[in-house]
Amino acid sequence: MTAGAVWCHFVLLLLLCTTALWTAEISCRNEGGETVDWFLLYKLPKHTESENAGLGLEYMYMDSLTHAWQLSKYLVNMTQSALGQTLKQLYETYESKNNSIAYAIYNDEIPHSKSYNWKKGHTKGFLLLDKSQGFWGIHSVPLFPPFLEDGYAYPPTGKPYGQVAICITFKYDQFTEIDQQLLSYNPSIYNCSIPNIFQADLPNLQKLCAGSKLPSAPQRHLSKLQSARGETFLHFAKSHLFVDDIYVAWVAQELKTDLLAESWQHSGHRLPSNCSLQYHVYNIHLIGTPLNLTFYSSNDHSKWCVSRIYEDQWTCIGDLNRAAEQAWRSGNEHGRNAAQQMETITIAVFLAAHQPACLFTVKRNEGPEKQE
């Protein structure tokens, strides 16, 4: 993967009687507020195997400029964090009521809500775009982000366990494909504005925002997306009609590689490691990081997988667990083939349990392994 460069393009807007304003383009942003093509964020669990317990707000961070994990300068609940800097654009759009910008926030666990809609996707994310470009974020944090009128915050319920987030900047033409992907997994949107100027290009997103009847969606759909800086991502969108484990039945077989999968371990119907198809999926039990922190999967709420063989260099981040009940849920995975991402997190020990044919222990040191 080629290293990105810091860049910020300003557009001169003439408003009313020749009043000029400079506005930065919509993009994922790092802790310094600089635009980045993409970033990965791994919020560390409150309890790790190290001697010093954290606050449950620290996170590891990597983006298209750094290509290496580093401990964040700020806590994830601060507006200076990468998520805070990125979502600041969304909150400012809400306050300005700008009708040339579209946005949506979705989560299967909505802030301040006690209801739960099993017909909606088990998916969490946010997007913001204009007719030039925008960003799309996918994460694992319930009840996040807050409603736009409440301002940026991080939920206390998100502190105990590890969480993961990915943000990617896209040119506008990619959002027509994203619109189709969203249709497949039917997210539960709770804050949105899709002005009519986007109706022709984003019809499904506009219907999702309005709560209107949706057209028929494919059981699953794979899209190849290109970031603003030309990086390629595969996006797997699963509807509730595709009744199977997304990792075993689709992702591993599509990528033609064995996968090491991390997901929520507190479900009553956890799936064992699976060797039934040509390409296998093994559950992760223990995670080690370049920061000399280790934690068990039982302390992690993130959802991700990496190729077991380093040379395959696949990393996928999404929002579905390896649990029997999730076979009936819609959701998605972002897949990326890149050595730099694989090298940045050392997954120290993997134990695939519950299936003798898959039982093994792998130790990986410094290098081949990646993150969330």
Q: Please determine, for residue 73, whether its predicted confidence score (pLDDT) is greater than 90.
A: yes
Domain limits of the chain? 10-363
Q: Please determine, for residue 230, whether its predicted confidence score (pLDDT) is greater than 60.
A: yes
Percentage of the chain modeled with pLDDT above 90: 56
Q: Please determine, for residue 313, whether its predicted confidence score (pLDDT) is greater than 90.
A: no
Q: Please determine, for residue 34, whether its predicted confidence score (pLDDT) is greater than 60.
A: yes
Strand order in the sheet with 70-71: 70-71, 59-63, 38-43, 163-171, 133-139, 124-129, 102-107, 189-193
pLDDT digits (tens, 9 = 90+) for 133-166: 999 999 999 999 999 999 999 999 999 999 999 9
pLDDT digits (tens, 9 = 90+) for 246-302: 899 999 999 999 999 998 877 667 788 999 999 999 998 888 888 788 899 899 999
- pLDDT of 264 reads 83
Least confident segment among 12-16, 149-153, 192-196: 12-16
**Active-site residue list:** 301
Percentage of the chain modeled with pLDDT above 70: 77
**pLDDT band for position 24 (50/70/90)?**
confident
The pLDDT mean for the chain works out to 81
